[in-house]
Each structure stands twice: as C-alpha cells, then as structure tokens.
C-alpha cells in the first residue's frame, strides 16, 4: 500500500479543532488498514508568529513542498491585528499559494437535501445543487503591477490595481476546468467581462481556442461576470463548472457558497500544475478561524472533512474513499446530526468532537455496505 505524505497545518482558532477531527480520521483509516500516511505537522499563521516571529517558517515551507497534500485549518484572529503587514497570519497562507504556484482554486458548492432549508433561497431553487467554481488564484488584480497609492501634485491621492493575465495563465486554469467538467456533467461556464475589459477579451479568446483544440466534447458557455452573479442567486442549478479569474472568482465563489447556507460546510482545494504525475496541493475549509467560537468545541468540522475528501480524490488517488467520506457526511446530515451553525431553531446541536465521531461512524457503515 502506498504511504501518502501529509503536512497538517492547523493554524489558529477553530483551525486547530477541525484539523484535530481529521487527525482522528487519519488514525482510524490507518487502524482499519484502509490507507497509510506519513504525517508531519507544523505551525502557520498567528501560532507561527507567536513561536518564531514569522507567519510560516522555512522548515514548514520545505515540508509543504515535499508533501503529497497539505491539510490546512485556518489562520488569523484579533490577537494579531497589530502585527507588521508582511508577518500577519494570512501572509503564511499567501506564501504557500505563491511559492507552490497553487493557481487553481476549486470551490464546490453543494446543497445536501437535509440542509436545503438552511439556504436563504427557496428549497426548490437549491435542493440538490452541486456546482464547482474554478478560480484562478495566483494572477489578476490581486498581484498585477503597478499596485500602489500615490499622492498627486494636487495633494489628492490615486490608487491603482492592475488586472493582468497572460495566455499561459488563462489556458492552464481553463484546462483544469474542462478536465473536471469531463468527470462531472460536462458543462463549463467561462465568466469574465469581455464587454469592458481587455483582459476579459483575451480570456474569452483563449478559452474559446482551447475548447476548439482540445475539449470540444465539453459544452462551453461564456457568461459576463455580473450576469453570472445574478444567475447564481436566480437559478444556480443551471451551472456545473464555472471558470473565472481571481477577482471575479473571489466574489462569485462567496456568493455561491452562501447559497448553500453555512460556512462550516464548505471545502476547497488549491492545486498547482501537474508535473510527472504529481502536483502541489493545499486543502482548506472556506471558513476562517472563527474567534467568536474558538476553543469552545462548537466548530463544525464538515468543511475540513470535505476538504480532506478532496485531498483523497485529487492528490492521493483514493477516489472511492473520497466518495464514501462524502456519502458519510450526507448520511450524518440525513440522520439529523447538527452542529449549532446548521441546527434549526429548537434543534439539538452537538459539538465538534461528536460531529467528528458521527462522520467516522457513518464512514464505517458506508464502507461496510460498499
Ligand atoms: P470566519 O469564517 O472565521 O467566521 C464567520 C462566522 O462563521 C463566525 O460567526 C463563525 O463562528 C462562523 N463559522 C465559521 N466557520 C465555522 C465552523 N466551521 N463552524 C461553525 N461556525 C463557523 O470569518 P471572520 O469572522 O470574517 O474571520 C475571522 C478570522 O479568520 C479573521 O482573522 C480572518 O482574517 C480569518 N480568515 C481566515 C481564512 C483562512 O484561514 N483561509 C479565511 C477567512 C477568514
């Protein structure tokens, strides 16, 4: 059996609690002889800053580069509000994304039937929703130069951010989207603003050419980013895979995620380029460190479990175990187990450890009947 190298980076706040549940799952899987892991753990974010004055150490970066998958919790919190900008907790995560060139951010938005009422949209609009947003993560407005605030002669200030994309950057993210669509429902919506932005024009052109050359079996639709935002709240089930740039992806994926009802349910993956059958990959929940509930044992670990399921599928070659884990999550929800963030008024809520135990118990049942 292959031994998979994992680096656990729990980080701050509830990151530590939810990664703690994944650790129990790892031990359980090994105990059952279902998988074998070589596990390392290190500090990131505020915890790393408190320990050695940086948001991630060189040693942790080296382990990250060598890992088959990084299982990340969350970083940040009010305790570190005053630390220098380049040492703030988020800088550790940004460095991982940048140094490992994790350009493809995958954010599924799934509505489990048992939780359809947790959405602010009507049950019939969201029940059974299963979409995947593929966001370009290392280019565009957040990284383009010049990026500055300058004082003009008049004393007025001027701020500049630069939206910039190259053919290569657009092509590689579109490739990921088309490939994923092939194993889903075979539909890609490419979202940009070609009507008002040069980068949108190039984006549309490159995606269209790539589609013609390599992916004509996949259905491709182009959609303006503003219309995409509207359609996501009007009729989200029309989508399968949406591919978009860094800035629009940030906004569209947050909108899509809220359609599902709770931050505690949402996993994500950030992938690098595949080189010799291997790629750098970081898996993390969409939520932050939730300082308001940290340390209380109340956090929902499902987003972290879902992120680990993505690691099983995309990095460890254990797709059927990933399917079983996702079915286990659905089973637990169908049985009515709820943490406070997803409990309806008057419903009993369990804590982090009980939810973790319930998911592992359901996985045991799923594997026994598989
Ligand atoms: P947050 O996601 O931490 O919390 C928002 C709300 O959702 C809170 O009420 C929280 O209790 C709740 N929540 C989030 N995850 C939950 C879970 N698993 N179970 C139950 N409830 C959950 O966002 P925020 O409050 O805006 O940010 C808090 C800190 O986290 C900030 O320092 C922020 O910078 C950081 N942050 C980090 C990441 C990351 O590590 N990738 C992402 C977002 C925010």
Look at the block and give the residue holding tokens 């049985």. 335
* Mean pLDDT (whole number) for 253-270: 88
Share of the chain above pLDDT 70, in %: 100
> At residue 317, does pLDDT exceed 90?
yes
Cα(222) to centroid(ligand 1), Å: 32
Given this model, what pLDDT does residue 88 score?
96
Residue in 161, 226, 323, 364 annotated catalytic: 226
Residue in 5, 101, 130, 142 annotated catalytic: 142
Residue 250: active-site member: yes
By C-alpha distance, which of 313, 329, 288 is closest to 80? 288
Q: CB-based contacts of 173: which residues, under 8 Å, 6+ apart?
A: 103, 104, 134, 136, 243
Cα(258) to centroid(ligand 1), Å: 13
Given this model, what pLDDT does residue 166 score?
98
- pLDDT band for 264, please (50, 70, 90 cuts): confident
> At residue 297, does pLDDT exceed 90?
yes
Given this model, what pLDDT does residue 60 score?
98
Name the residue with higher pLDDT: 119 or 32.
32
> At residue 208, does pLDDT exceed 90?
yes
Residue in 112, 165, 193, 341 annotated catalytic: 193
Give the residue, by CA position, lying nearest to ligand 1 atom 36: 288
Beta bridge partners of 7: 40, 70
Given this model, what pLDDT does residue 112 score?
87
Beta bridge partners of 11: 74
Q: Domain map of the chain by residue range?
A: 1-103+272-370, 112-264
Mutate to test the pocket of ligand 1, among 288, 356, 359 (most ligand atoms within 8 A of CB): 288
Given this model, what pLDDT does residue 35 score?
97
* Mean pLDDT (whole number) for 96-104: 95
Asked if 207 and 216 count as a contact pair (C-beta separation under 8 A), the reply is no
Residue in 250, 323, 357, 364 annotated catalytic: 250
Given this model, what pLDDT does residue 114 score?
85
Given this model, what pLDDT does residue 102 score?
97
- 3-class SS letters over 64-118: HHHCCEEEEEECCCHHHCCCCHHHCHHHHHHHHHHHCCCCEEEEEEECCHHHHHH
CATH superfamily for domain 112-264: Isopropylmalate Dehydrogenase (3.40.718.10)
Q: Residues lining ligand 1, judged by CB closer than 6 Å?
A: 14, 74-77, 93, 263-264, 284, 287-293, 299-300, 303, 341
Cα(348) to centroid(ligand 1), Å: 23
Tens of pLDDT, residue by residue over 49-88, are: 999 999 999 999 999 999 999 999 999 999 999 999 899 9
Share of the chain above pLDDT 90, in %: 89
Residue 50: active-site member: no
Given this model, what pLDDT does residue 184 score?
92
> At residue 367, does pLDDT exceed 80?
yes
What is the pTM assigned to this prediction? 0.92
Domain 1-103+272-370: assigned CATH number? 3.40.718.10
- pLDDT band for 260, please (50, 70, 90 cuts): confident
The pLDDT mean for the chain works out to 95
Within a 10 A sphere around the Cβ of 274, how many other Cβ atoms? 13
Q: Among the atoms of ligand 1, which is closest to the Cα of residue 284?
A: 41
Within a 10 A sphere around the Cβ of 39, how many other Cβ atoms? 16
Q: What does the DSSP 8-state code read for residue 2?
A: P
- pLDDT band for 261, please (50, 70, 90 cuts): confident
Cα(290) to centroid(ligand 1), Å: 4
Tens of pLDDT, residue by residue over 212-249, are: 999 999 999 999 999 999 999 999 999 999 999 999 99
Q: How many CA atoms lie within 13 A of 268 on its CB side?
A: 27
Cα(142) to centroid(ligand 1), Å: 21
> At residue 370, does pLDDT exceed 90?
no
Residue 198: active-site member: no
* Mean pLDDT (whole number) for 194-216: 98
* Mean pLDDT (whole number) for 302-307: 97
- pLDDT band for 277, please (50, 70, 90 cuts): confident
Cα 225 to chain centroid distance, Å, stands at 20
**Residues recorded for the chain:** 370
Q: What does the DSSP 8-state code read for residue 234?
A: H
By C-alpha distance, which of 205, 203, 211 is closest to 187? 211
Residue 32: active-site member: no
Residue 142: active-site member: yes
- What is the spatial distance between Cα 74 and Cα 249, in angstroms, rounded to a whole number? 20
Q: CB-based contacts of 224: which residues, under 8 Å, 6+ apart?
A: 191, 192, 193, 194, 195
By C-alpha distance, which of 164, 251, 244, 163 is closest to 207? 244
DSSP result, 108-126: EEE--GGGGGGSSS-HHHH
**Domains 1-103+272-370 and 112-264 are alike in CATH topology:** yes
- What is the spatial distance between Cα 234 and Cα 295, in angstroms, rounded to a whole number? 38
> At residue 120, does pLDDT exceed 90?
no
């Amino acid at each position: 059996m292959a031994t998979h190298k994992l680096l656990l980076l729990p980080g701050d706040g509830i990151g530590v609690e939810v990664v703690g549940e994944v650790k129990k799952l790892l031990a359980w899987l090994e105990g059952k002889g279902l998988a074998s892991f070589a596990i390392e753990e290190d500090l990131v974010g505020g915890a790393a800053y408190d320990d050695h004055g940086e948001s991630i150490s060189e040693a942790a970066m080296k382990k990250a580069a060598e890992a088959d998958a990084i299982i990340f919790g969350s970083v940040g919190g009010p305790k570190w509000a005053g630390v220098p900008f380049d040492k703030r907790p988020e800088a550790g995560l940004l460095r991982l994304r940048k140094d490992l060139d994790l350009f493809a951010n995958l954010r599924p938005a799934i509505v489990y039937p048992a939780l359809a009422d947790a959405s602010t949209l009507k049950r019939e609009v969201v029940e059974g929703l299963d979409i995947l947003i593929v966001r370009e993560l290392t280019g565009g407005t957040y990284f383009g130069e010049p990026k500055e605030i300058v004082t003009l002669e008049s004393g007025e200030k001027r701020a500049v951010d630069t939206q910039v994309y190259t053919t290569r950057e657009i092509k590689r993210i579109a490739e990921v989207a088309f490939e994923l669509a092939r194993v889903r429902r075979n539909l890609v919506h490419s979202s940009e603003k070609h009507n008002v932005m040069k980068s949108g024009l190039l984006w549309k052109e490159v995606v269209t050419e790539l589609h013609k050359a390599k992916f004509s079996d996949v259905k491709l639709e182009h959609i303006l980013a503003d219309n995409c935002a509207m359609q996501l709240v009007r009729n989200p089930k029309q989508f399968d895979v949406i591919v978009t740039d860094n800035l629009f992806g940030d906004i569209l994926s947050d909108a899509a995620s809220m359609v599902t009802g709770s931050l505690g349910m949402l996993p994500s993956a950030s992938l690098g380029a595949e080189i010799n059958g291997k790629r750098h990959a970081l898996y993390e929940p969409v939520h932050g460190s939730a300082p308001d509930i940290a340390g209380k044992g109340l956090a929902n670990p499902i987003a972290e479990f879902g992120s680990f399921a993505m690691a099983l599928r995309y990095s460890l070659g254990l797709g059927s175990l990933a399917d079983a884990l996702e079915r286990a999550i659905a089973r637990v929800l169908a049985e009515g187990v709820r943490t406070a963030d997803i409990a309806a008024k008057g419903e009993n809520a369990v804590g982090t450890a009980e939810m973790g135990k319930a998911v592992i118990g359901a996985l045991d049942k799923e594997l026994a009947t598989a």
